[in-house]
Each structure stands twice: as structure tokens, then as C-alpha cells.
Structure 1
Amino acid sequence: MNAAKRRELVSGKVVAVTGGARGIGFATARAARDAGARVVIGDIDTVAVDKAAADLDVPAFPLDVTNSAAFTTFLDAVESTCGAVDVLINNAGIMPVGPADAVPDTEAARCIDVNLHGVMLGTKLALRRMLPRGHGQIINIASIAGVTPAPGLALYNASKAGVVAFTEATRMEVRDRGIQVGAVLPSFTATELVSGTSTPRGQRALDPAEVAAGVVDMIARPRPQLTVPRALAFTVRLSTLYPDRFKRAIYHRFGVDSIFLNVDRAARADYDARIHGSP
């Protein structure tokens, strides 16, 4: 889709982005703003979200996506500032890495609470506003990790697989009631989430702006699911047919069997401290 057509379809929409202070959320807010949308961002890190808001020249509000009252207050603030939410982008997420048997209970609970329950909560609260109006759109940022499990990423895989399934089931519930629901599945993206890890051999880490462009395309032309890069969608579908021995060989060939187990913890220390220190 060319930029002019995208802008025509996106311009004027009120777009709320969770986890908008950094990474894919920040890039998406910028891309939607540049396409003419009225963007509002939310994030649990109030200092970072205020800075992001100043950089983007958009409104920002604090948001803990795991708290129903906080999420309701955020949506109320968006509507009082810009009007009824046309598009909610559930982007906030965290990515613990390491062996499944070494994940502390608190870390596991926090990952599911943010990545999956936060998406469920945001979707539910947005639907309560959109369904009576008979229009609206919800885009949930899942991940290729939700359909391609990898050693060292079991917890994140589980949370994102849940997002994929939840999004599709919800889409089928409301598709005939004027509401569009879809998931975006980015591949390995150069954000803080992957700090201390290495890119799979033969693969280029995406720039967050590439994912953001896909999200804005989905706003302009809603669809059930979008993989970024799009060419990867066929490979992912094909991989479900691979026998286990062949899949293990592929994972080993590209290093996917070890990159989330052999992590540079020093390089990842700041990110780990931030996600573990979140309330």
C-alpha cells in the first residue's frame, strides 16, 4: 500500500498504544502519527513515557496494563483528550529468557500477567466501548515466538502463543459486529527485549520501524494476522509440517537452539533489572 493511500485510511483515527515509551510501541506511535492519526501513548515507566511524548509531540498517560482500574483510567484519559478510541494497540510486553526450570515463579507470573493478561484486559475494556458504537479496531502485538517455540524462551513462547489464540478467538466473536481484531507477529527485532542475545544465523534483526509500518498497514487494511517480515509467514506455516529430527537440525543450523540459553547477562542486566523491578 502506498503512503498516500495509507494516510487517507489512517488519518484522523484516535490510536492508543500501550508500552509506547520504547521499542516497537514508540516506533508504532511515530508511524501512526506520521500517517495522520491522533496518537496517545501509555506506559508503566512514567519518566520514559513523558520523554517519548515530548519527542513525538503526542499526549501520554501512565499505564499498568495488568491493572483494570489503571487501564480504564488510561482509556478514559484518551477519550477525554482526543475522543473515542478507534484503534487500541496492545503492545506492552516483557521477555524473560533462560532455561524453563530456572524461571522464578514471580518472573513467570509477571510475564503472563503483562504479555497475556494485559492483552486480554485491554481487549475486553476496549470492546466494552467499541461494541455499543458498532466500530473499532484492536491490534495485539504477538510474536513469531508465539508460533515457533525455542529453547530458553519457553515462558515468552507460552505468553505469545496465548496472545495469538486469544486474538483469533476474539476476532471470530466480534467480526460481524463492526469490530476488527488482529495480531501482528514480528520476527527478531532490535529492541531492548533481545539485549544480550545474538541474532539467528542468516537472519537480519528488524528495525522497530519495519514492524511499525506493518502495524499501520493493518490499521489501514485490517486482517486477522500479519507476520513481519511478510515473507516469513509461509516458512512458519511450512515448519508445522517438519518432522522433529529435521526441525532440530534447522534450529541447530541457525543457532535457534542456543541463542536464548547462552545469553550475555551483563549486556542484559539493565533490561532484566527494569522488568524485574516493575510492580
Structure 2
Amino acid sequence: MTRPTLFPAKTIAITGGARGIGYQTAKELIGRGHRVAIGDIDEARAKEAADELGISSVARLDVTDPDSFRAFLDMVETQLGPIDVLINNAGIMPTGHVHEEEDTVTRRQVEINVLGVIFGTKLALQRMLPRRAGHIINTASLAGELSVPGLATYCGTKFAVIGFTEAARQEYRKSGVCLSTVRPTFTNTELVAGTSGAKGLRNAEPQEIARATADLIEQPRPFVRVTRVAGGMVAAMKFVPGRLATALGSALGTDSVFLDDVDMGARQAYLERIRNS
């Protein structure tokens, strides 16, 4: 259940806010009393989501286009005031063998998952630095710390998000602007449609990621991993010898869960949407 916050209300902009983690994060933050705006490439669904959330600050947003991103942030500040928090949440996750991945799909992942985060971060910094206040939260993934077969390009983009954010965090550590990453395990949204998850590890629910993100706003720190169990495992795996890590991955089924075990029929609608967006 969403709880009212004891912290001052903030103006918060969320990319990819029409569905999944972005939508649930908006819902959580609104419930805590914050002023929230959402942007999404799917304009029709974004407007539906805004109606459901009871907010009016909504716009079509192409995170790969700096002009579109700039216009979105302008809209937020005109309607709600200076942006206190930007959540770069938009992202896509195709699955499959690297050699079979279409070049357009590869490019789209890099454009949305990496360039979208970099563009948004730069634009937010330009607004926040003169005020010496603000918080930029970039949604990464535990797949940005621990590689998963079948998600090579996706993992590469999330490794990039973590590296970029950490470098920028250190660069601006004395500026008054915070930078953080949220690192979810695989989460029950469209992104994992047709997959069964790792053996013995449950997927997260988007509401869990939303709560973790909202808590991070109220008590900033460099990053948060979700779930606690999956995050602890990923952290521990960094100290495990390579052969043992590979064997453990096989035991958990992670070497096939995004390859041979995928129900492509169940993923078809999602894949068509991200190809046509």
C-alpha cells in the first residue's frame, strides 16, 4: 500500500511512464504526495495512463531525440515547477542469440537504453546545476552487473548505464545534484513476457521497484538493488571463480531462460510494439 511521505513534495519527471515499472513508480510517487509528470513514446497509452493516475502533465516523449526530451522537460517545468527528480526509466529488452539479432533491434536498444539515459541526464544536469539541487535516477538492471546469455546487447546497455551514472555521480558529487541507479532483477512486466525466470529465484513485481525508487528519492544513495535476494546473489557472484559462476548459472537455468526456453509467441506483441515505436 502506498503511504503518504513525510518528506517535502517534489516535482518528478518519469520517462517510459505509460506502462510497467514507470507507471507503477508514478503511481507510488503520486500516492506519496509528489507532483509527477510522465512521458512515453506511445502517446495514446501515455494519455490513458495519465487519466488513470489522475494527472495532467503528460507528453509524447522520444528519449532518443534530445529536442523531444528538452520539450518534455520544458513542459514539466512550465506546469509543475523546476524539476527536482528525473527518472530515466524508458528501456527495451529483446531476447535471443546475438548472431540472429536484427541490426535495427540492436541499434534501437543502444539508442533507447543508453543514449536516452545520457541525453536525459545531460539535460537534467543543465537545469539542476545552477540551482545546486536535484536528483537523477537511471533505471539499470542487475543484468548490468551480471551477464545473462540471450541478453547480450541488453546487458551491454545496462552495464553502460551503470558505468555512465557512476562516473557522472563522482564528477558532480560536490554540486548538490545526486545521481543514482536502480538495479532491478527481472520484473513481471512486458519485458519478460514468454520467459520463466531463473530457477529458485522469483521475479520482482513492478510495485517493488516503484517503492525502491521512491525510497531512493527520500533517502538518496548511489544505487539500490531489487530484490534483496537477487541483489545479494549478484553482489556475491563477483567473488566467485568464473567456472563456478558458470556452473551456478547453468543450475539456475540462466543459460537458456532467454534463449531456448523463450515462448516467442507470448513475446510477439511486445516485440512488434518496440519495433514499431
TM-score range, shorter chain: over 0.9
TM-score scaled by length of structure 1? 0.96
| Separation of aligned partners in 1, 2:73 and 2:267 | 32
Q: Which runs of 4+ in 1 moved over 6 A?
A: none
Shift of 1:3: 4.6
Query: Matched residues in 2 for 1:54 and 1:175: separation?
Result: 37
Aligned to 1:18: 15
> 1:37 pairs with 16, 34, 39, which one?
34
- Give the superposition deviation at 1:238: 1.6
CA distance in 2, matches of 1:110, 1:148: 22
2:64 corresponds, among 63, 66, 80, to 66
Q: Which whole-Å CA distance do the structure 1 matches of 2:232 and 2:3 have between them?
A: 26
* 2:96 corresponds to: 98
Q: In the alignment, what sits opposite 1:148?
A: 146
Matching residue within 47, 63, 86 for 1:50: 47
Any stretches of 5+ residues in structure 2 without a counterpart? none
1 CA distance for matches of 2:205 and 2:231?
18
Residue equivalent to 2:233: 235
Deviation at 1:146, TM superposition (A): 0.5
Structure 2 Cα separation of the partners of residues 230 and 152 of structure 1: 24
- Code of the residue aligned with 1:229 in structure 2: it is T
- State the alpha-carbon separation in 2 of the partners of residues 32 and 3 from structure 1: 9
**Equivalence for 2:197:** 199
Question: Hey, what's the Cα distance between the residues in 1 that align with 2:64 and 2:190?
Answer: 21
What percentage of aligned pairs have identical amino acids? 46
Deviation of 1:252 after TM superposition, in Å, equals: 1.1
User: 3-state SS of the aligned residue for 1:76?
Assistant: helix
Q: State whether residues 185 and 231 of structure 2, in contact with CA within 8 Å, keep that contact through their aligned partners in structure 1.
A: no
CA-CA distance at 1:157 after TM superposition: 0.2
Alignment match, 1:160: 158
Q: What amino acid is aligned across from residue 33 of structure 1 in structure 2?
A: I
Q: What amino acid maps onto 1:179 in structure 2?
A: V
Other structure's SS at 1:177 match: coil
1:36 aligned partner, one-letter code: G
What residue number does 1:266 align with? 265
Q: Deviations over 1:68-101 (max 9, x none)?
A: 0000000000000000000000000000110011
Following TM superposition, by how much is the alpha carbon of 1:230 offset from its aligned partner in structure 2, in angstroms? 2.8
- Aligned partners of 1:223 and 1:275: how far apart in 2? 32
Deviates more, 1:235-244 or 1:59-68: 235-244
CA–CA distance in structure 1, aligned partners of residues 147 and 238 of structure 2? 11
- Per-residue CA deviations over 1:159-187 (Å, capped at 9, x if unaligned) read 00000001100100111110010000000
Residue 206 (structure 1) shift: 1.2
Question: Of residues 162, 174, 177 in structure 1, which corresponds to 2:175?
Answer: 177
Distance 2:143 2:248 in 1: 16
RMSD: 1.2
Residue 122 of structure 2: aligned partner: 124
Amino acid at match of 1:200: A
Q: Which runs of 5+ in 1 are unaligned?
A: none
Deviation larger for 231-240 or 138-147: 231-240
Q: CA deviation at 1:226?
A: 0.3
Aligned pair 1:27/2:24, yes or no?
A: yes
